[in-house]
Amino acid sequence: MSSVAIGNKKGFGATLWDYLTTVDHKKLGNMYFFAGLLFFAIAGFEALLMRIQLMVPNNDFVSAGLFNELLTMHGTTMLFLAATPLLFGFMNWIVPLQIGARDVAFPFLNSLGFWLFFLGAVFLHLSFFMGGAPDAGWTSYASLSLYSPGHGIDFYVLGLQISGAGTLISGINFVVTIITMRAPGMTFMRMPLFTWTTLIVGALITFAFPPLTVALFFMLVDRMFGANFFDHTMGGNTIIYEHLFWIFGHPEVYILILPAFGLFSEIIPVFARKRLFGYSSMVFATILIGFLGFMVWAHHMFATGLGPTANAIFAVATMAIAVPTGMKVFNWILTIWGGSIKVTVPMIYALGFIPSFVAGGVTGVMQAVAPLDYQLHDSYFIVAHFHYVIVGGVVLGIFGATHFYWPIMTNRVLNEKLGFLTFWTFFIGFHLTFFIQHFLGLMGMPRRVFTYQGDQGWDLFNFISSIGALLMGLGVIFLVVNMLLSIKSKPLNTSDYWGDGRSLEWALKTPVPFYNFKQTPLIRGYDPYWIEKHEGNKEGMTYAEPVGDIHMPNGSILPLIMSIGMFIAAFGSLYHPDGVSWSVPVIILGIGITVACMIIRSFKDDLGFTVTKEEIIATEESLYGKGGNK
Amino acid sequence: MMKGLKKWRLFSLLAVMTVFLSACGEEYISTLRPAGAVGKEQFNLLLFSITIMALVVVVVSVLYIYAFFKFRRSRQGEDYMPKQVEGSHTLEVIWTVIPIVLLLILAVPTLISTYKLGDVAAMEHVDEDGNKTALTVDVTAKLYWWEFAYPDLGIVTAQELVVPTGEKVYFNLKAADVKHSFWIPSVGGKMDTNVENINKFYLVFDEESEGLKDGVFYGKCAELCGPSHALMDFKVKTLAPEAFDAWVASMQATEGQIASKDSTDLGEATFAASCLGCHAVSSVTGMPAGAAMGPNLTTFGDRSHIAGFLEFNKENLVSWIKDPEEYKPGNLMTGAYKVGNNNPDELSDEEISALADYIMSLSVEK
């Protein structure tokens, strides 16, 4: 369906319909990217409001209740609805290109995953306008969340349940795609690091999200029907909730950081003009981090009172994670060692990432020292630590990769001067905000406080921290301006924009046609494009097949309708505890819509469509002029 | 030679860290100025781990900065083609083994300390007469206030914990409504107060709090527990053992003390009519730990703060009684009584003023 009209200007309605029904991994990548950016902006704004409130002691800029809503929504949104979809945007865009596939293994599910995530996220955010947002922290510990009045927690539970299902679907999809759809010759040990980290993250999602689903489901039925899973007065247990949450929650940290590691492992070799040092140990370290990530959840609960033996075991297991992470850092440094470093915008993000992440990593090891963690836990020290990891690792990774992959994704380039300005503003702001928070924590300031009394020795540092936060906000604005400006700039129509591309995606000429590679490439080693380039192959790649018909999946509106069904059902569940008469019919209606879509999908034969050789040649000529992608 | 040099480096780094860190924070709240054995042990672990971590950061930074400046393309030439190295087994082994060794070094004191701080067996020790040898405090955390009961002494107080210096004080920690966390930063690390089980740990208080600003150590709730989580502060008064025994005796002497409705003092009569249902004025209540509806006010006049965080003066107390919601949103005292000057069942300005005088007069130390 999208085979026609490539390159021709389409009306707004047609474009909208195209995006609502698309199953194309690149378009879904765009949608993930922009949805992620939207929620990143919202959550960043919430953070700014909090930092303004904490700028001076005894401030009344926001009320206590609103502050708790802000801190809950900031954490929830940043982790589930900003960082995850932004990374999914890159995974969707880049992984199929890196492995030479035409799309993901299940394009329909890919679309369903996006819409579930997006509508779940919208549902969660509606809470702001419908009686108050969740206010029990992103962890939403059971005793407080059961106690919390209003519908805030119901929004949290239902919204995350829906968007979590979307994330789980996407995670499984990536695993299947990477295992089954690699181009001929691309063995596992020839896969680029970003593809490797996506594979491991897919596996982590597959195992980590079910415990969250269980925890949220228990919470849902507790609040809807008084099921008493967590109500201790009725024999329930809130510690179980903490375990379930962190069995998910700790791998979630690696779900976010591993793709960022992958992105940096793509950026650094390109701008060091040197092969990634210790590829196989990088792969091994990724797998090991993923595995150990499941073994350490209780280090979030050292103060819960699990007893010395449990604390000791989880302390040592946590320290062990530092070893593979250290391997990665040294491998990155040895990659630039002896290379030829060109400081571009993506590279400066990578160079800024290394010391920032190391700083975040070592404070993590300090918190693994359980008795020391009794002091650090739930203080501003931990706030500083996880922002060093998440901002210094994940966000710098996302920003760097945005500049790095912008030429492939949009066929435009982001302004370099503005890019450096963004980096320095954001980077200085980031360290200003969070470095000093380590000391606030050590000086006794608990986290998640909406205000503090003056003269406890915290006033100056809080003020500095807030100034830093404003700088970070400014940096993000620069980035968005840069993106908007680039849309108006001249198309690149080139391949290998950075000149030293190594992996398969750089062999493609932009704009990337909807079927990706005209002919499936043949992979002759690690860094396949680099190999071909340096053997003087003018074609870009060696191909595994002649130009022939290409089989592509059809778009479908069903994923959107299915997700809307869940969205409707969620409203029924939300108001069910209020005893309204329409709640059960609405639940049945919503789930009915979803099930009906599933039935339609199951009984309708959809074999996709074929792009003929002639159409391919015509498309290539309309994109790149006579001669096509050569 | 090499070994000596390394040791010297380690010690100088340690010294710098100590000076730098101990300059930070206020004595009554900072973990960097520990005033008890537990806090000191944790502070030493902080110094130890921070030193190892600083070494790691220094090594990584040196390698990284050197590589960055040495191998810039501007120095290497635009066309320079670096050798495409695959990796090095030797280096991989080195940077796997060295971190493992460092972590093992860190793990040993971690494990020792974890077990040491988790050892509460002495809580149950008894002398020949069957009396407990150690002091135990039952801490109950409630929405935005703290109850401290001394089960073996038969007394209870709230908001201001009073403990003797120089001995291990054991704590039974529990929450009555939602999860909180008990933390006295300058004395030692925190432990959660769970809703379904009692957590036990101990702290040691080395210094008397008398000389501190406000004369108390600051305690905090460290687990998000609702809108007023940030205000759920408590204070800790540490006394020399003799002074503590005297305090206990005067607390025990308040047995039977009660506010009378028929009192000629308007404050006491008002208290008896409107407040006594939740707030006891005797330290010997006979109630199980955590059963009280509101903080025990027997020692109110001895406290350094109102509601745990407001400056101690009558004006604040009057404002607090008039509208607690204004100061601690979500607290459970709001709505338990009516304020106004029209109906007889409302607390008038005059009554509240008298009430404040009465409450501030409650004391065992004066």
Q: What is the rounded average pLDDT for all residues in chain A?
A: 94
Closest residue, chain B, to A353 (C-alpha):
B64
pLDDT at residue A301 greater than cutoff 70? yes
The pLDDT assigned to A204 comes to 97
Inter-chain Cβ pairs, chain A and chain B, closer than 8 A:
295
B85–A141: do the CB atoms touch at under 8 Å? no
pLDDT in tens, B321-338: 999 999 999 999 999 999
**Residue A19, Ramachandran bin (φ over 0: left; ψ between -120 and 50: alpha; else beta):** alpha
Please tell me the distance from the alpha carbon of residue A115 to that of residue A98, in angstroms, as a whole number: 25
User: Percent of chain A having pLDDT more than 90?
Assistant: 90
pLDDT at residue B21 greater than cutoff 80? no
For A16-170, strand residue ranges (E) read none
What is the mean predicted confidence (pLDDT) over B219-248?
96
Nearest to A371 among B41, B227, B330 (CB): B41
Class of domain B2-78+85-117: mainly alpha
pLDDT in tens, B82-109: 999 999 999 999 999 999 999 999 999 9
Domain boundaries, chain B: 2-78+85-117, 135-366
What is the domain extent for residue A72? 12-556+606-624
Q: Mutating which of A139, A264, A443 best tests the B interface, going by the most B Cβ atoms within 10 A?
A: A443
The pLDDT assigned to A6 comes to 47
The pLDDT assigned to B24 comes to 76
At residue A538 the predicted structure's pLDDT band, cuts being 50, 70 and 90, is confident
What is the mean predicted confidence (pLDDT) over A325-334?
96
Contact B80, A340 (CB under 8 A): yes
The pLDDT assigned to A1 comes to 38
Q: How many domains does chain A have?
A: 1
pLDDT at residue A8 greater than cutoff 60? no
The pair of structure tokens assigned to A457 is 């020795």
CATH number belonging to the domain at B135-366, selected among 2.60.40.10, 3.40.50.920, 3.20.140.10, 2.60.40.420:
2.60.40.420
B42–A342: do the CB atoms touch at under 8 Å? no
At residue B342 the predicted structure's pLDDT band, cuts being 50, 70 and 90, is confident
What is the mean predicted confidence (pLDDT) over B250-277?
92
What is the mean predicted confidence (pLDDT) over A88-117?
96
Q: Directed axis angle between helix A558-575 and helix A152-180, to 10°?
A: 150
Q: Any residues with CB less than 8 A from the CB of B169 and at least 6 apart, and which?
A: B134, B135, B136, B137, B163, B202, B203, B204, B205
A141–B107: do the CB atoms touch at under 8 Å? no
Q: Any residues with CB less than 8 A from the CB of B193 and at least 6 apart, and which?
A: B139, B140, B141, B173, B174, B175, B179, B180, B181, B182, B199, B223
Residue A349, in any domain of the structure: yes
Please tell me the distance from the alpha carbon of residue A497 to that of residue A86, in angstroms, as a whole number: 22
Q: Tell me the CA end-to-end span of chain A in Å, nearest whole number.
A: 26
Contact B174, B198 (CB under 8 A): yes
* Residue B112 contacts A, CB cutoff 8 Å: no
The pLDDT assigned to A525 comes to 93
pLDDT in tens, A426-435: 999 999 999 9
Cβ neighbours, 10 Å, residue A578: 8
Maximum CA extent, chain B: 99
Distance to chain A for B325, nearest Cα, Å:
11
pLDDT at residue A627 greater than cutoff 60? no
pLDDT in tens, B169-178: 999 999 999 9
The pLDDT assigned to B20 comes to 62
What is the mean predicted confidence (pLDDT) over A84-90?
97
At residue A5 the predicted structure's pLDDT band, cuts being 50, 70 and 90, is very low
The pair of structure tokens assigned to A350 is 């990578």
pLDDT in tens, A10-22: 788 999 999 999 9
Residue A615 belongs to a domain with what CATH number? 1.20.210.10
pLDDT in tens, A584-611: 999 999 999 999 999 999 998 888 999 9
pLDDT in tens, A554-591: 999 999 999 999 999 999 999 988 889 999 999 999 99
0.90 surpassed by pTM? yes
CA-based nearest residue to B157, from B284, B3, B307, B274 = B284
Residue A566, in any domain of the structure: no
Residue A455, in any domain of the structure: yes
pLDDT at residue A211 greater than cutoff 90? yes
User: Percent of chain A having pLDDT more than 70?
Assistant: 98
Cβ neighbours, 10 Å, residue A223: 22
Closest residue, chain B, to A456 (C-alpha):
B26
A337–B67: do the CB atoms touch at under 8 Å? yes
Cβ neighbours, 10 Å, residue B257: 14
Closest residue, chain B, to A140 (C-alpha):
B224
DSSP string, A500-564: ---SGGGGSPSSPPTTS-SSPBPP-SSSHHHHHHHTT-TTSS-BSS-S--EEEPPP-SHHHHHHH
pLDDT at residue B144 greater than cutoff 90? yes
Return the H-helix or E-strand segment holding B199.
Answer: strand B199-204
Report chain A residues whose CB lies below 8 A from the CB of B58: none
Distance to chain B for A186, nearest Cα, Å:
18
Nearest to A456 among B29, B39, B175 (CB): B29
Closest residue, chain A, to B192 (C-alpha):
A304
A311–B63: do the CB atoms touch at under 8 Å? no
Contact B327, B310 (CB under 8 A): yes
Q: What is the rounded average pLDDT for all residues in chain B?
A: 91
pLDDT in tens, A130-148: 989 999 999 999 999 999 8
